[in-house]
Amino acid sequence: MKKKLIYSVVAVVVAAVAAAGLMAVDFGPSMTPMAKFFLVFFGAIIVLQVVPAAILFGCIVKEVLFGARKNALSESQSEKSAAS
């Protein structure tokens, strides 16, 4: 429950900071506030999806690089105990 609250707070903070940043920047007379919020909304969605994807990708790379070593160690230990 606490983790869900933290993620919600992070999502709100990211959206608020992005909205404040885009509202502060002048994109010209053709950019309305609603168009700016549209960009912020989809930008926040993309950012909030990239973070878990990067974490998952890092875990996959770690498992590929170091998982084979763990399997080799456990197999060699089981072979030694079977030989005894």
Q: Mean pLDDT for each consecutive 10-residue tract of the chain (84 residues)?
A: 81 78 71 78 83 90 81 66 63
Q: What pLDDT is attached to residue 38?
A: 83
**Under DSSP, is residue 41 helix (H, G, I), strand (E, B) or coil?**
helix
Contact assessment for residue 44 and residue 15, using Cβ atoms and an 8 Å cutoff: yes
Taking the C-alpha atoms of residue 55 and residue 74, their distance in angstroms, rounded to an integer, is 27
Domain count, the chain: 1
Residue 28 has a CB neighbour count (10 Å cut-off) of 5
Q: What pLDDT is attached to residue 56?
A: 92
Range of the domain at 7: 2-83
Phi, psi for residue 27 in degrees, rounded to 5: -95, 5
Buried b / exposed e over 29-44, threshold 16 CB at 10 Å, is: eeeeeeebeeebeebb
